[in-house]
Amino acid sequence: MANATTTQTLELKQLINGQWESATGKQAQSLNPADPQEVVASYATATEENLESAIAAGRAALADWDKVGIIGRGRVLRRAAQLLEERAEGIAVLMTREQGKTLADSRGEVGATVETLYYQAGSARNATGTTFPSGNGDELVRTIRRPVGVVGVITPWNFPLQIPAWKIAPALLWGNTVIWKSASDTPAVSVAFANLLIDAGVPAGVLNLLLGPGSLGDALVSHPGIAAVTFTGSVPVGHQIRERTVLRGAKLQMELGGHNAAIVMPDADVASAAAFIVAAAMSSTGQKCTATRRIIAVGDVHDKLLEALKPLVSALVSGPGIDADSSMGPVISARAQREVEEALDTARSEGATVLAQGSVPADAPGHYVTPTLLGGTDALTITREEVFGPVATLMRVANLDEAIALANATDFGLTASVFTSDEQAIRRCLDEVVAGLIKVNGPSTGSEVHAPFGGLRDSSFPAPREQNGDSCADFYTESKTAYIRTAPAGHAS
């Protein structure tokens, strides 16, 4: 693969059984969202024949990878973390070029991915089972974890390095092999990460990367050779994956987006709340599942909060992610740009008020969307349906009861935040707001790699959460219970 810091078009291949192979599917490209005339990468898409080869390679590699042992596999992940530190700047520049996010955001994602790899590597020395007392004095009862098998990994474009690491690192740690179908918009970052893992010592067949269309993902999750599927993406695709996997007995883990609320109580520190909310709503061009979409102001705090939000939103500057003066980059594609703009048009036609807007470059070729703060009610479509861009809506309610009811008035339940010093209000929100992750006096975005991450309702699937070591172990392994007695005294072999 060419040096990631160059601006030449990268020619990509599929990783199957330790070899970078050309595929025979349709030609595809990834484009620079800040300059769609620039082709970042070109490749022939994988076919179902390539998928069959990858699954066969994954199955053949299982036994030997299992024999490496969890501490040995942890060493491979630690080496991967070290290599990523060494290659950090080149991969960050490539990410900005291919995904569009600011270089600061790309560097932050690379750093978080390094931490993820180190954390999973360190988890290799955690306990791998539990012991229990037995009614028999000479008997030991313990649990044993075994790899689930070949794992299908499907990842999105908005965090093209970090989300794959969340999924792939623990899958490998626990002795599984992986078939990774990455996002079509960011294949070059995927190839860079896969290449890094191979250089770190992941053996042939243990990690296989396929670059292809959504139909390839459907074939992947439907395949009887795939024992578990982990997916991050849209609700409709998630529902299709559920139908393909659960009924055939495969394990499933999904994170499917959100419509996250920030509740601001009358006693909140308004300046702090406004800063956190704008960062959560607008950073990464609003292209985060955890982004704040709805701002719920309780009582008289509404006007003070609005006055604090306006200058922060107005100061936002969209531009090329490589430009240090840009607050945010473009959205990922022309289609994404059109969807956000159409949602804003619909909101205005339904009575929404534009309260504040940032700026976009004049006559720029990129897929830029104006950062926008709207005012309105829950009658607006945009307050119920997820819009993946830098748009948030400010709403007013009379009391905490109404705030909680409004926060819960969607089909989602990923994250939420509440800004207050009132302990009773905090406890009510923690108990009653439907969200898998709740922040108190902090942004709805961001999480710790050692804590479970996942949502409720349509934001997830009832399965072990991502990240946290115990959650990962529960998903990527099958558990056995062993009853072990000593052989009778004098037993002859």
Catalytic residue annotation = 255, 289
Pair of tokens at residue 192? 């860079």
Separation CA 398–CA 391 (nearest Å): 24
Cα–Cα nearest to 208, from 148, 168, 165: 168
In the block, residue with structure tokens 């920030």: 262
Which class for 49: exposed (0-12), middle (13-18), buried (19 or more C-beta within 10 A)? Answer: exposed
Separation CA 13–CA 366 (nearest Å): 27
Q: How many CB atoms lie within 10 A of CB 132?
A: 10
Separation CA 150–CA 113 (nearest Å): 23
Going through 81-130 in order, the beta strands assigned E by DSSP cover none
What angle (nearest 5°) sits at the alpha carbon of residue 227, between those of residues 226 and 233?
70
The helix or strand, by DSSP H or E, that contains position 68, with its residue range, turns out to be: helix 48-68
The helix or strand, by DSSP H or E, that contains position 152, with its residue range, turns out to be: strand 150-154
Residue 266 neighbours by CB under 8 Å, 6+ apart: 298, 299, 300, 301
Separation CA 95–CA 104 (nearest Å): 11
Which class for 408: exposed (0-12), middle (13-18), buried (19 or more C-beta within 10 A)? Answer: middle
Separation CA 105–CA 112 (nearest Å): 10
In the block, residue with structure tokens 């700026």: 359
The helix or strand, by DSSP H or E, that contains position 217, with its residue range, turns out to be: helix 214-222
